[in-house]
């Protein structure tokens, strides 16, 4: 991979702000430095996954391993990286990296997925999956949405949360709707707040900065 997409307002991302609040510029260095390393080692067979030694990471980032490890664990807690330590070796996985890669690499990924044969599924596996899906079905929610809330956009936001592996409970919906109602009373547009959260990969909505 020659390059990856870097959002121009990353410094306004709540995760980046928390990262720099806790670790200063070292937090920014470790996060984006690791993205650069993962991009350089990117393979279509295992996108976003790489095995590195502690010493390699320490030398590349010019920080102590303790500092690197602490920051990486913070990133893992926020689901940016997934890390497995095996002695001196560190397995790092960034699933979202394949969505951030350059156009050439995107074409390589599509070509690889088209030529890679899918394993045939056993009948037992299909039946087991169907049973699991039935168990996962939840009762219809009794939550009543306010008239000012765009129902279709709300559904899209719930799908967005599910993709982040943070599906919303009915209680979480009530809390977020109350937050949106409060921001609406302050003059903010709930629809735009939800759209911004989806675009930036946020789990919730935030009051726009620099506005009253």
pLDDT at 18: 92
Query: Taking the domain 10-105, which CATH number applies?
Result: 1.10.10.10
* Per-residue model confidence as pLDDT tens digits over 76-129: 999 989 999 888 899 999 888 777 776 767 777 677 776 656 555 555 555 667
Average pLDDT, the chain: 84
Q: Where in the chain is the domain with CATH 1.10.10.10?
A: 10-105
What torsion do the CA atoms of 33, 36, 38, 43 make, to the nearest 10 degrees?
A: 180
* Per-residue model confidence as pLDDT tens digits over 126-177: 566 766 666 655 555 568 889 999 999 999 999 999 999 999 999 999 999 9
Q: Report whether pLDDT(63) > 90.
A: yes
Confidence of residue 212 (pLDDT cuts 50, 70, 90): very low
pTM of the model: 0.50
């Amino acid at each position: 991979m020659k390059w990856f997409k870097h959002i121009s307002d990353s410094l306004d991302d709540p995760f980046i702000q928390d990262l720099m609040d806790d670790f200063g510029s070292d937090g920014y260095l470790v996060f984006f430095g690791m993205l650069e390393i993962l991009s350089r080692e990117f393979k279509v067979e295992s996108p976003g996954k790489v095995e590195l030694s502690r010493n390699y990471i320490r030398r590349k980032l010019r920080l102590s391993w303790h500092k690197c490890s602490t920051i990486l664990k913070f990133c893992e807690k926020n689901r940016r990286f997934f890390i497995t330590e095996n002695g001196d070796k560190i397995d790092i996985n960034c699933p979202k990296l394949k969505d951030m890669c350059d156009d050439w690499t995107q074409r390589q990924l599509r070509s690889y997925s088209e030529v890679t044969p899918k394993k045939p599924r056993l009948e037992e596996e299909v039946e087991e999956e169907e049973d699991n899906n039935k168990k996962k079905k939840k009762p219809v929610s009794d939550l009543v949405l306010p008239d000012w809330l765009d129902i279709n956009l709300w559904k899209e936001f719930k799908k967005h949360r599910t993709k982040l592996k943070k599906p919303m409970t009915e209680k979480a919906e009530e809390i977020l709707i109350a937050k949106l109602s409060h921001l609406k009373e302050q003059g903010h547009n709930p629809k735009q707040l939800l759209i911004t959260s989806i675009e930036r990969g946020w789990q919730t909505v935030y009051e726009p900065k620099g506005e009253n």
